Amino acid sequence: MLEDLESLSFQPIQVSRMNRHDRPMPLVLTEMPMCKKADIFEVKTLCGLSVKVEKPHKPKDAAQCHRCQRFHHSQRQMRRCSSDQRLREAAQAACQMR
């Protein structure tokens, strides 16, 4: 797929097959550089397969961290879930319970 995109004069940054439960899905995620022309949306076939090019869908809900359960960040970012802050919050909670 990468070679087909390059032959159509696109410069993809990354091409990866989507998986679900370690099984490949019939979806390919392609990261492309920002450009003003929308020629990529006109592509109908790649590698002999019919394709539909879509913009990525934005999630409707706010991100929620699995570690602290707060919103607007993820565990991967770790900006509100640093170990120092978690220890301070645990100590404050313990003091409030006494």
Over residues 38-66, the pLDDT tens digits come to: 788 889 999 888 998 888 787 778 777 77
Listed residue (54, 94, 59) closest to 74, CA to CA: 59
> What pTM value is reported for the model?
0.51
Residues 28, 15: Cα–Cα separation, whole Å: 7
User: Is residue 85 very low, low, confident or very high in pLDDT (cuts 50, 70, 90)?
Assistant: low
